[in-house]
A = this chain, B = another copy of it.
């Protein structure tokens, strides 16, 4: 089959395996880890500030919240869907929670309601896909515009200042447990939990089946429509959670927040081995993808590379990293 186009040839298989295969699967992520290590070594020579605790902390903070969205997107991609609305939904969660808070509701309830509303958006999208039969792409594009519109409507386009949020709420975004920011603690636990669930739980196994071959899944008695709706809802819900954390962190809600986030998030998942045609992907890989993207950006800023060169370098590194990863993966699987 060497002659054929190997569109997805390099993407990972993420099913739990035993023995050799399990080690191989780990090695898929090992490719990305290797690239990251190389980057870290290079950077620690290039800048004395790179390998400092503060910089590591800062870099982690830079992708931790978006990482939550990456998790949702990866699961959705595995099920065969895609969601362009995540950036808008993040903003919507911020704005709605902020608006409710200013209307006098306590911030925890306001946040819960906002996250629920995001889940509602996910449900609406999921039903459009399964009931009407539209494609995820076009449905989420429409909801990306609608959710953004809702943000504008709620705020009149103006950012909402939430300086009055109580400190225990702000703790979510700004607090630390010991020296480690709460955001990072939350993020790490969250990622490990979802990585475990995705590899092991029967519920998420059905997501793989559905994404790999929806027809065969239906012929295995899996209610694929429910799986699709559930993953869509999950992705929107996690975007909502991320929105609330951002709100706690910035102490404000911006209706224009998260524009363009979707491409970044999808890119992270794909770098980490998720397939755009469904059935493949891992949380760990996707998060490594997000880390790669973020560390490259942070490094360029740290080195004070000219703005005009940054994009070119970022794009090239992205390309080089995925090519190298694919190369490693191919060699290993031989």
Contacts and interface: CB of A to CB of B under 8 A. Distances in A.
Interface stretch (A67-75, A128-136, A192-200): A128-136
A305 B303 CA distance: 47
Given A145-B311, A149-B309, A314-B149, A5 B322 contact: no
Contacts of A326: 132-134
Interface stretch (A12-20, A101-109, A166-174, A263-271): A263-271
Given A7-B80, A156-B308, A315 B137 contact: no
B4 A215 contact: yes
Q: How many copies does the complex hold?
A: 2
Contacts of A145: 311-312, 314-315, 318
Contact of A5 (B9, B130, B146, B152): B130
B270 A146 contact: no
A250 B319 CA distance: 33
A247 B291 CA distance: 38
A318 B10 contact: no
B7 A316 contact: no
A6 B225 CA distance: 9
A94 B215 CA distance: 46
Main secondary structure of the interface of A (DSSP, over half): helix
A156 B315 CA distance: 18
Interface in A104-153: 128-130, 132-139, 141-146, 148-150, 152-153
B323 A146 contact: no
A277 interface: yes
A298 B223 CA distance: 42
B137 A270 contact: yes
Contact of A3 (B3, B8, B224): B224
A295 interface: no
Given A10-B133, A84-B263, A153 B318 contact: no
B84 A319 contact: no
A60 interface: no
B133 A308 contact: no
A122 to B, nearest CB: 15
A214 interface: yes
A318 B141 contact: yes
Contact of A311 (B148, B266, B322): B148
A138 B4 contact: no
A104 B263 CA distance: 38
A152 B7 contact: no
A203 interface: no
Contacts of A129: 5, 7
Given A11-B135, A153-B308, 13 more contacts: A5-B129, A5-B130, A5-B214, A5-B228, A10-B134, A84-B263, A128-B323, A132-B323, A138-B318, A145-B314, A149-B310, A152-B307, A157-B307
